[in-house]
Chain A
Amino acid sequence: MMRSSSLLSGLGRVYIGLVLVFLYLPLVIMAAMSFNASPFYQLPFEGTTSWYAALASNEGLIASTLNSLQIAVLTTLIATTLGTAASLALFRSDFRGKRALQALLFPPIAIPWLISGTAMLIFFFGTGIGRGLHAILLGHVALALPYVIIVVSARLQTFPRELEDAAASLGASRWQTTRKVTLPAIAPGIVAGALFAFAVSFDQFVVSYFLATPGQTTLPVEIYAAIRKGFTPEINAVSTIVILFSMGLMLIVSRFFRFAGDR
């Protein structure tokens, strides 16, 4: 039995290795191609950094990258604040119809983004809210909210309710209790929720695509336009930078928070 289980775990490791190859192969190739001189990805490989140099003078890509970062940061701040507040309120209260109200939080996840995006386009266009960065921000926060609420609520499940009662019985006001007891205890959940919000926004293409205007666009929309036009070596370069940036960010954060959930 010992032998068969070690054989099995060996096979398991090989399998995980193959899955990782599948997940990372195209990314590695794209990064390699961003250093290849041929704009049509011809081999043999010939090294160059000219595509990265070309990026520096590509104003459209730089502007849209800054837009993406700005919207992602704002989305993170707003969605995390609203989501944490709603999670706390749901955690502390109990009333008729609470489950129905909670179910209303899920449409942004349960509806294909294509439908949310086109619906926002129709509504924002028809009401004069219009398209552009403010419309994209409106949409992104709505998409990120459920993720924040799910993650923060999950963390609240492990928070002992009695602590709030104890603080209250010692004379702390509701706000003091929240700020000094509850929020510090669920901080890892809030940070994880904020990370999800950032990822949802920074990665979001579909909704942005329908709400962007030529002057006010985000990086994924700009990349999509370039892919459809067919000229892409600079896109490889900016994509490689974006992937390294977001994965690096996650790696740093993961040093502070355990995601595998080992207890």
Chain B
Amino acid sequence: MTPSFKTRRRNGLLSALPLLLPAYAWLTLAIFLPLSAMVYFSLLSDIAPNAPSPSLTIENYATFFSDPLYATLLWRSLVLGLIVTLACLVIGFPAAYVLAKILKGRAREAIFLLVILPFWSNSLVRVFSWSMVLREGGILDTALNAVLPFEVTFDLIYSYPAVVIGLVHSYLPYMVLTCYLTLQAIDDALIEAARSLGASRLSALRRIVLPLAMPGMLAGSALIFIPVVGSFMEPRILGGRNGTLFGTVIEDQFTAVYNWPLGAALSFILLAVVLVILLAAAPVLRRTA
């Protein structure tokens, strides 16, 4: 990199525009305008979408605050997001560490591929496959009863733990991937230097590896937390009646109850909460980046 090349003036916005415009136009049509429409819709009174002269109201937001059920469900969804994210972190980080720092060559490549391969398989199908594992008379139940001398009833299907297991299974590859990418970028010489200066394995991990891997852990956490708080398909398939969450209530408004304005208001509240959490995490992200 000779400095003389860097003096070349880069293009301004105007010449970049033709190449940028298609992508932004598409996002406007499919994301920004729909979000604006949703905000408007959330302020409409509950009538059929095509009815003439709908009136503006904040009634839908008032519904959220007057019925404690909604806040309870929102809280439940946030807690679920936290549990799943932490579980993915605890399971995924060591796996990424083994991949990046212990395995070498072909073994690393093959196992890395195996870990991220499920990302390319259908998530719905993967969630559904757990229902065959967790049900009474399913594989785990049969296997446990064949091995254990006493009778056990193993029936996790339609329970909260089943939802957590299915979600962790779905999102674990994201965490392994993002942690692996940051861990791989850490120079082994740094760790060796710390070790040769007398740092124990644990303190080298705590004071060098963990801080340097923080961006990957945070990126993975965001990639997992955001979809999980809005999940509704996994709780429906694996949680049954115990899987009622904020996401399933929103889905109901659009597909069963047909109260779109209330659904829009609830969606917007969820969006606001997610954005607040992301903004709160932003300074931490910036400090570690």
A residues engaging B (CB < 8 A)? 8-9, 12-13, 15-16, 19-20, 22-27, 29-30, 33, 41-43, 78, 82-83, 85-86, 88-90, 92-98, 101, 104-105, 107-116, 118-127, 138-139, 141-142, 145, 149, 161-162, 165, 195, 199, 202-203, 205-206, 209-210, 219-220, 223-224, 227-228, 232, 235-236, 239, 242-243, 246-247, 249-251, 254, 258-262
Least CB separation from B8: chain A residue: A165
B285 interfacial contact with A, CB 8 Å:
no
Write the B239-267 contact mask toward A (1 if CB under 8 angstroms, else 0). Answer: 00000000100110011000010011001
Q: How far is the CB of A138 from chain B (nearest CB, A)?
A: 5
Are B49 and A123 touching (Cβ within 8 A)? Answer: no
Task: Decide yes or no: A142 and B27 within 8 Å by CB, A92-B16, A123-B33, A247-B117 being known contacts.
Answer: yes
Are B132 and A223 touching (Cβ within 8 A)? Answer: no
Q: How far is the CA of A144 from the CA of B11 in the complex (A)?
A: 27
Q: How far is the CA of A73 from the CA of B116 in the complex (A)?
A: 21
Task: Decide yes or no: A86 and B33 within 8 Å by CB, A247-B121, A260-B109 being known contacts.
Answer: no
Q: How far is the CB of A252 from chain B (nearest CB, A)?
A: 12
Q: How far is the CA of A246 from the CA of B120 in the complex (A)?
A: 6
B62 interfacial contact with A, CB 8 Å:
no
Are A227 and B250 touching (Cβ within 8 A)? Answer: no
Are A113 and B227 touching (Cβ within 8 A)? Answer: yes
Q: List 22 A-B contacts (CB under 8 A).
A: A16-B111, A19-B172, A20-B114, A23-B172, A26-B126, A78-B26, A85-B22, A109-B226, A111-B274, A114-B270, A115-B267, A115-B270, A118-B254, A119-B264, A125-B49, A126-B49, A138-B30, A223-B128, A243-B121, A247-B120, A259-B112, A262-B105
The interface residues of chain A lying within 8 Å CB-to-CB of B45 are none
Q: Describe B's contact surface by its main secondary structure.
A: helix
Are A83 and B23 touching (Cβ within 8 A)? Answer: yes
**Interface set, chain B 134-188, CB cutoff 8 A to A:** 135, 137-139, 142, 169, 172-173, 176, 181, 184
11 other A-B residue contacts (CB within 8 Å) besides A8-B201, A93-B11, A109-B223:
A9-B98, A30-B132, A41-B135, A85-B22, A89-B17, A105-B23, A115-B38, A121-B254, A242-B121, A249-B120, A262-B108
From A33, A88, A118, A254, name the one whose CB has the most chain B CB atoms within 10 angstroms.
Answer: A118
Q: How far is the CA of A224 from the CA of B231 in the complex (A)?
A: 14
Are B34 and A122 touching (Cβ within 8 A)? Answer: yes
B residues engaging A (CB < 8 A)? 5, 8, 10-13, 15-20, 22-24, 26-27, 29-35, 37-38, 41, 49, 91, 94-95, 97-99, 102-103, 105, 108-109, 111-126, 128-130, 132-133, 135, 137-139, 142, 169, 172-173, 176, 181, 184, 201, 222-223, 226-227, 229-233, 236-237, 247, 250-251, 254-255, 260, 263-264, 267-268, 270-271, 274, 278
Least CB separation from B121: chain A residue: A243
The interface residues of chain A lying within 8 Å CB-to-CB of B251 are 114
Are A250 and B102 touching (Cβ within 8 A)? Answer: no
Q: How far is the CB of B143 from chain A (nearest CB, A)?
A: 10
Are A16 and B11 touching (Cβ within 8 A)? Answer: no
Are A15 and B98 touching (Cβ within 8 A)? Answer: yes
Are A8 and B102 touching (Cβ within 8 A)? Answer: yes
Q: How far is the CA of A242 from the CA of B124 in the complex (A)?
A: 11
Are A112 and B226 touching (Cβ within 8 A)? Answer: yes
Q: How far is the CB of A32 from chain B (nearest CB, A)?
A: 9
Are B137 and A41 touching (Cβ within 8 A)? Answer: yes
Are A88 and B23 touching (Cβ within 8 A)? Answer: no
Residue from A83, A223, A259 in contact with B125 in the complex, judged by beta carbons closer than 8 Å: A223
Least CB separation from A249: chain B residue: B120
Q: How far is the CA of A206 from the CA of B120 in the complex (A)?
A: 16
Q: How far is the CA of A157 from the CA of B22 in the complex (A)?
A: 22
The interface residues of chain B lying within 8 Å CB-to-CB of A243 are 121-122, 125
The interface residues of chain B lying within 8 Å CB-to-CB of A43 are 137, 142
Q: How far is the CA of A165 from the CA of B268 in the complex (A)?
A: 47
The interface residues of chain A lying within 8 Å CB-to-CB of B35 are 107, 111, 115-116, 119
The interface residues of chain B lying within 8 Å CB-to-CB of A24 are 114, 118
